[in-house]
Structure 1
């Protein structure tokens, strides 16, 4: 699987073609531009990219019980920007570091994945988050063994180990009606391990699904 995945990461990525199915819609079924990423080309224009803050996340793949897995985390309710949300380990880029190093540093700080144990095999398409004006760069890496998890309780409430096969089977078009910032909206989600994954993380994972199938 890893060789196939790496080859696809080196080619043209589906990007918004994958994300469209995870686009938040109004109660009338209409896409909400600021939430849905439908105007991706506008958000990643050269001018916009230069003005957006940058962050990076890590999809750290390892084998457990002979299946490829990776970690997701739940943010604490005390988190300012995304309280209680399910996310990939990651965070904002700091001064004088590369985005790759950001992903590795944050994964180590949040859940204890040692940077030297990760072989980066490629990147998924950067995901713009209009509400916070961040551009998130997802890196895909391979780890030879399941890490010894060390949770930073200031940034992580809980860690989940998700099988790639389980992620793929959760891609079933499931949606929920939410009240989001005062609007009734239809939110496409992944339901995994009794947790709800949506938004930018769901966008990243939808592209991962499409190249991992």
Structure 2
């Protein structure tokens, strides 16, 4: 059965984020950033590294470029596993494409936050992310992850 590959051309409303996976002491983890407090949008929010695509970039290229700019990630040490469907962010009027990548031989101590954009860099184990203790149930029944509790 043939597969259909969706291409997503960059426009001024195209963004991408890297969902960085990393093994630390044989524990699968995800890397997050906390946005700088001086930013106009989403100040202090927990997020993945990423941002707007340049006109000649695809989501993978943009996510890697932004990860290098924001946290100094050596992009040659990232194996791209694929991308998810773009999600529309109504606040930013931007389609955001999540790009999943596995970090190989990355020393977290060598990552450097670009303080104009990123306040902190931290990792959370997948076990912690899946723990029911760190979820909250809201009035409308939706369940949201409270990552800000994990910022040390």
Which TM-score band applies after superposition, normalised by the shorter structure? 0.7 to 0.9
Does residue 194 (structure 1) correspond to residue 149 (structure 2)? The answer is yes
Query: Take 2:11 and 2:69, find their aligned partners in 1: how far apart are those partners?
Result: 27
Q: Confirm or deny: 8 A CA contact 1:70 1:164 kept in the other structure.
A: yes
The partner residue of 2:63 within 103, 119, 138 is: 103
Gaps of 5+ in 1: 1-10, 12-48, 178-184, 197-213
Cα distance in 1 between the residues matched to 2:35 and 2:146: 17
Kept after mapping to 2: 8 A contact 1:76/1:155: yes
Matched, 1:153 2:115: yes
Please tell me whether the aligned partners of residues 56 and 136 of structure 1 are also in contact (alpha carbons under 8 angstroms): yes
The aligned length equals 143
User: Normalization by structure 2: what TM-score?
Assistant: 0.80
Does residue 130 of the first structure (1) align with residue 85 of the second (2)?
A: no
**For the aligned residues, what is the CA RMSD?**
2.9
Do the aligned residues in 2 keep the contact of 1:59 with 1:141 (CA within 8 Å)? yes
The 3 A distance-change label for structure 1 pair 188 and 96 is same
CA contact under 8 A between 1:63 and 1:146: conserved in structure 2?
Answer: no
Which runs of structure 1 show a deviation greater than 4 angstroms over 4 or more consecutive aligned residues? 49-52, 170-173, 185-188
Change (3 A) 1:113 1:170: farther
CA distance in 2, matches of 1:93, 1:50: 6
Note the residue ranges of structure 2 that are not aligned, 5 or more in a row.
4-8
With normalisation by structure 1, the TM-score equals 0.59
Higher strand share: 2
